[in-house]
Structure 1
């Protein structure tokens, strides 16, 4: 990370062997937080505010995008190879459907088009998408991008967007049929690189330094928010022993439910009865979410440094995409958003053409997903 205080260690974790029991992960997630607390953590909870969906978005949209800074120099990037995709079974996977979060099928109107189907996987994890060497290389790439992360007062305090454009390693990873097959098996349908490349892949950085917000300073955090993207994977790139607190929190309810619970959730954090913490313990641990349907946040860290990468994908078999224009424009500026949405609409109107233009062999992705399915299922 930027400077001495923002530098995280790069030693990879040891790869787990065998399969652990699944019945303990997320037991009673609807009524109590899940996941063990590290010894150095303070008590769960802590106030994390929710982002404000208001006219502030319009003001932010007038800014020029700050994310297109060119690729990493070759010496600071890494080489991708298919052997970095993990081929072993995932340990102790828990799966929750959209119905588990309170979503029921709408009968008609816009809600019927945007709400997830009740049987659709809304949360799954923890998964291991990469080998230890793959995790170490990806972590190094994200650390080498950290000096591009500005202080921000919107949703995530410090992050880098457009990692897809910045790193050849990441571009190759998310275009590899074997990697796409693994994430597709988890999501339950074919996934490919998203046409909206700038917001699709982000690296998030958290440490104990405060960020400047106007004339004041605030702890680094990810405010309560939902994503523009639908199919989202959150991979933690630091071990739990490297930082205290800083946990990912998910609200177990619909977006409409959150509006009613907003103040209580913001005040209580993971102490709220509808909030749980996914058990992300080792570098490389990953959870899958329907990001546009689930409110989530990250606590401030109280010591050490937390690093994660957010990977979002496009489902070519679907015509619908959840991204609202102003959600994207508020982050990347109107010009960037207009360009991105033009690419998205073109991909939606001709998904097979999009696959051909981007070199994605959809048939092979589907075959890889079928091969990976037994490795990622709850067991």
Structure 2
């Protein structure tokens, strides 16, 4: 049995966690793609705080767990020279200062009016939040923020070049609405979640993941000890997940309100190994909104660090940057 990430614990009532529905696959996934519509674009906020690099907590550190602890072999890990892409989970930790967290919360609360509903993965969400909010756009393209995220994961990161999935806000509320996040693995490899609600604000809404290979899910059935809860219910708690290699879900919020910002990043050096699949994206955003952007993502490049950074409208982050103080 692999050693669990520090602070993680088996889910109490594991049966209910495994009873959550899974994201549709195969023909059902294609049908979702045919029915899906490009996320609507609201007017954003009439006014919002200004992003500042000082909002990043430069002392942010947290526990890190390797993909090997999830059962992945060395030969399955991405490599660039002597560098290995081996982080499965990092955190929880505090990535933003209190002032930065308050400003981000204000922005995400204001964007709730643009939220749409879907039955694909997350029930109620805003996709492409950075296209609506200058604050979020500037945050995820700020060099200080990107370096902090990259150093936590151990690989150079830029915002994902596919713009619609880059920043998503998930909203969940109780009162019988049963808003959930289904069991799924992400189309993106590098995913950060930032809790904007504290555990005192809601009941349920537990971030749950399967500590094993994706081809082993759902393991031995209800009560499988590899179904674990990440201890990230504190407001401001930030968790990294190698999303494409880990099945995860969020249990229903039974009371109160839970808001989480989900950010998807991209490592230019592992562009050719990127796990993104067309139908995974199209199931959320529809075929027309996905086709052109996805094909551009697959174009060959000569200098991945520069080319993909330009596509994402981001500063360039390199391996050398990770080694500097």
Structure 1 residue 81: Cα displacement: 0.8
- Work out whether 1:294 is the aligned partner of 2:246: yes
1:332 aligns with 2:301: no
Structure 2 CA distance for aligned equivalents of residues 127 and 169 of structure 1: 21
The one of 269, 280, 284 aligned to 1:317: 269
Aligned position for 2:202: 243
Q: Are 1:182 and 1:369, in contact at CA under 8 Å, matched by a contact in 2? A: no
Alignment check: 8 A CA contact 2:206 2:233 kept: no
Inter-partner Cα distance in structure 2 for 1:81 and 1:118: 32
For residues 300 and 231 of structure 2, the distance between their equivalents in structure 1, rounded to whole angstroms, comes to 35
Between the aligned partners of 1:301 and 1:361, the Cα distance in structure 2 is: 37
Tell whether the 8 Å contact from 1:181 to 1:370 is kept in structure 2 after alignment. Answer: no
Tell me the equivalent position of 1:149: 115
Alpha-carbon shift at residue 322 of structure 1 (Å): 0.8
In 2, the alpha carbon distance for the partners of 1:94 and 1:301 equals 27
Question: Structure 1 residues 148, 119: closer, same or farther in 2, change over 3 A?
Answer: closer
Corresponding residue number in structure 2 for 1:231: 190
Is 2:34 the counterpart of 1:62?
Answer: yes
Confirm or deny: 8 A CA contact 1:292 1:322 kept in the other structure: yes
Over 3 Å counting, the alpha-carbon distance change for 1:254 and 1:166 in structure 2 is same
RMSD of aligned alpha carbons? 2.7
| 2:240 pairs with 1:283 | no
How far does residue 73 in structure 1 lie from its aligned partner after superposition? 3.3
Q: Give the 3 Å change call, closer, same or farther, for CA 337–89 of structure 1 in structure 2.
A: closer
Deviations 1:256-279 (A, max 9, x none): 110554xx2xxx4xx531111111
Provide the secondary structure at the position in 1 that maps to 2:164.
helix
Against the structure 1 CA distance between its residues 313 and 71, is the aligned structure 2 distance closer, same or farther, given a 3 Å change threshold? farther
Cα offset, 1:151, TM superposition: 2.8
Q: In structure 1, how many angstroms separate the alpha carbons of the residues matched to 2:74 and 2:279? A: 26
* Length-normalised TM-score, structure 2: 0.87
Between structures 1 and 2, the one with greater strand share: 2
Kept in 1: contact 2:101–2:236 (CA 8 A): yes
Q: Determine helix, strand or coil for the equivalent of 1:318.
A: helix
Residue 314 of structure 1: how far off its partner (Å): 1.1
Match of 2:297 in 1: 344
The C-alpha deviation readout for 1:77-119, integer Å capped at 9, x for no partner, is 33111111112343xx32211110011144xxxx7889xx987
Give the conservation status (yes or no) of the 8 Å contact 2:194–2:260.
Answer: yes
- 2:314 aligned partner: 360
1:303 is the counterpart of 2:255:
yes
- Rg larger in structure: 1
Q: How far apart, in 1, do the equivalents of 2:102 and 2:161 lie?
A: 27
Unaligned runs of at least 5 residues, structure 1: 1-23, 35-41, 212-218, 373-379
| Partners of 2:90 and 2:139 in 1: CA distance | 21
Does 2:174 correspond to 1:222?
A: no
- State the SS of the aligned residue for 2:106: helix
What's the CA shift string for 1:227-266, capped at 9, x where partnerless? Answer: 00000111111111111121100100001110554xx2xx
Gaps of 5+ in 2: none
The 1:45/1:137 distance shift into structure 2, 3 A limit, reads farther
The question of whether the paired residues in 1 share the 8 Å contact of 2:85 and 2:155 is answered with no
For residue 222 of structure 1, report the CA deviation from its aligned partner: 0.6
Equivalents in 1 of 2:148, 2:180: separation in Å? 30
Give distance in 2, aligned partners of 1:192 and 1:329: 22
Find the residue that maps to 1:80 and give its secondary structure: coil
Change (3 A) 1:63 1:297: same
* Distance in 1, Cα, partners of 2:43 & 2:276: 25
Q: TM-score, normalised by structure 1?
A: 0.76
Residue equivalent to 1:33: 10
